[in-house]
Amino acid sequence: MADDCLFCRIARQEIPVQLIHESDDCVAFRDIKPQAPVHVLVVPREHIASLNDARDPGLIGRLSLVAAEIAEREGIATTGYRTVMNTNADAGQTVFHVHLHLLGGRSMAWPPG
């Protein structure tokens, strides 16, 4: 837990953001600046700065399965979606509390920019 971390504060509901998923170890909510019709962030409750600092394979795996559940619920499981975890500067990470982006609802280019 980090007092000054935005995503810790959202996970603790100190900042009122509507959660679309809540479980023992993670929460999910819509990105404030969506890059696709569906853009959800799946965030562990535990403060982990980036994937470089993650140690629990179960937790990291569960973030992906939660994203898949939300994709199903949002109606994009069949059409397709992308899950992305940006790590550090070259990937454009801006919030240093690990999170999985779930993006879908439009077709996407590859390779990513």
Single-letter amino acid code for the residue at 103: L
Site mask, ligand 5GP, residues 49-88, x = CB under 6 A? -------------------------------------x--
CB of 95 to ligand 5GP, least distance (A): 4
**29 counts as binding ligand 5GP under rule CB under 6 A:** yes
Alpha-helical (H) ranges within 1-76 are 6-11, 57-74
Which residue has 């949002």 as its token pair?
A: 74
Nearest to 25 by CA among 98, 113, 105: 98
Among 92, 106, 108, 112, binds ligand 5GP (CB under 6 A): 92
CB of 54 to ligand 5GP, least distance (A): 15
Neighbours of 38 (CB within 10 A): 20
Q: Kindly tell me which of 34 and 75 has the beta carbon lying closer to ligand 5GP.
A: 34
**27 counts as binding Zn ion under rule CB under 5 A:** no
As to burial, measured by CB atoms within 10 angstroms (0-12 exposed, 13-18 middle, 19+ buried), residue 49 is middle
Footprint of ligand 5GP on this chain (CB under 6 A)?
6, 17, 29-33, 41, 86, 92-95
